Amino acid sequence: MKIDLLQMVESGGCSAKISPKQLEEILKYLPLPVDPNILVDIDTHDDAGVYRVNDDLALVLTTDFFPPVCSDPYEFGQIAASNSISDVYAMGGDPVLALNIMMFPASKLPMEAYAEILKGGFDKATEAGVRIIGGHTIDDYPPKYGLAVVGYIHPDKIITNAGSRPSDSLILTKPIGTAVILAGHRLGMVSENDLDEAKSMMKLLNKTGADVMKKHKIKGATDITGFGLAGHCLKMAKASKVSFTINMKEVPLIGNSYRLIDEGCIPGASFRNLEYAEKEIEFATDLDYNLKMLAFDAQTSGGLLFSAPSKKVNIILEDLFAAGLFNSKVIGLVTEPKEKFIYLVN
């Protein structure tokens, strides 16, 4: 029997995230633990938490899991693992250990699919140098998978959302459009080439990009996932108390995602992301509507977005290309705080 995980879900990957608006409402009522060893928590909307063990070592902790983004269980495992580990890379850490988190409908899917998902996750984790040392599964429909990851980091070398400075340039390391491509794929509107491109981008570890960030002592970064490019830019600009101008024409796109949006193929999550962020964003009056909606496209295992001193941009880009990240691009500039946090132009 050919297993098709996509038959089981309405929205997969990071599109399945709860609305950022709802999440913010709820988190308001949860007190943040106070401890001098907590170096990074959700206060700055960062990708992972960081806890100091001693002066030379801190732990980066993060977790992420979601429903299938593709038909093949092995590929789904690879993508989910790559996405889970990404938060550690975005903080400048080295991922070390992980636990599997799995929800699997044992009565609806052959156990072979379960094994394949775990195998995909294991192989991707191994590629990242991460040891999976346990996990937990419950019987649930539809399937969901991800990792809880622990990484090492030096307490003085943490890269956060709050590290972006005026006059920096913003570099993005992967093209965007995974949610449009996946939604279009379900409706038979996407070529095999475009689907393959989206899948290979989602499987690609952010390790190489993170190595370049560390080499150049980058201070501010995030990875682009469920809240979309604009949503994650907003979190970063807010935490850094600066404004970002993003030139949407410079943003690399996966395959024909522009054309898909133009045909109305806009996933529901894009509207959720738009609604959450739009009050704090100024849209240029001539901003192309399709590019605007792409800015809110929920990314699964998206690239790194980091803030780099503008005079170092060429050498950093050369390093990113040399690392195989051929889509890396300067997509915007950081300015002193202005009336809005984000300016989307084209």
Partner 1 sequence: MRTIDTKGQLCPAPLIAAKKALKETVAGETFIVITDNKTSFDNLCRFLKDNKADIKSSESGGVWTLTVTKSVNDLVQTNVEEYCDPSISHFQKGNFIVVVSSDKMGEGDDELGHLLMINFIKALKDLDKLPRKIVFYNNGVKLVTKSSPAIEHLRDLEKMGVELMLCATCVNFYCLDTVIGAGIVSNMFSIVDAMASSDKVLRP
Task: Give yes or no for a cis peptide into 143 (omega within 30° of 0).
Answer: no
Please identify, using beta-carbon distances, which residue of 259 and 338 lies nearer to partner 1. Answer: 259
Distances (CA, A) of 302 to 42, 200, 276, 283: 20, 11, 20, 23
Query: Contact between 252 and partner 1 (CB under 8 A)?
Result: yes
Please identify, using beta-carbon distances, which residue of 148 and 246 lies nearer to partner 1. Answer: 246
Tokens of 296: 């809110």
70 is annotated as an active-site residue: no
Tokens of 230: 């604009």
Query: Contact between 299 and partner 1 (CB under 8 A)?
Result: no
Please identify, using beta-carbon distances, which residue of 103 and 330 lies nearer to partner 1. Answer: 330
DSSP letters spanning 137-188: EEE-SS-EEEEEEEEEE-TT---BGGG--TTEEEEE-S-B-HHHHHHHHHTT
Give the nearest distance from C-beta 205 to partner 1 in angstroms. Answer: 17
Task: Please select the residue that binds partner 1; options are 120, 228, 255, 303, rule is CB under 8 A.
Answer: 255
Query: Contact between 271 and partner 1 (CB under 8 A)?
Result: yes
Give the nearest distance from C-beta 190 to partner 1 in angstroms. Answer: 12
Query: Contact between 322 and partner 1 (CB under 8 A)?
Result: yes
Please identify, using beta-carbon distances, which residue of 97 and 313 lies nearer to partner 1. Answer: 313
Tokens of 215: 């080499």
| Residue 145 contacts residue 84 (beta carbons within 8 Å) | no
d(CA 55, CA 58): 8
Give the nearest distance from C-beta 173 to partner 1 in angstroms. Answer: 15
- State the Cα angle at 131 between 154 and 202, rounded to 5°: 85
Query: Contact between 215 and partner 1 (CB under 8 A)?
Result: no
Please identify, using beta-carbon distances, which residue of 36 and 264 lies nearer to partner 1. Answer: 264
Give the nearest distance from C-beta 253 to partner 1 in angstroms. Answer: 5
Task: Please select the residue that binds partner 1; options are 267, 302, 303, 332, rule is CB under 8 A.
Answer: 267
| Residue 220 contacts residue 164 (beta carbons within 8 Å) | yes
| Residue 68 contacts residue 109 (beta carbons within 8 Å) | no
Count CA atoms closer than 13 A to 10's CA, side-chain side: 4
Give contact residues for partner 1 (rule: CB under 8 A). Answer: 10, 183, 187, 189, 249-250, 252-253, 255-256, 258-259, 262-268, 271, 274, 288-290, 314, 317-318, 321-322, 324, 326, 329
User: What residues are annotated to the active site?
Assistant: 14
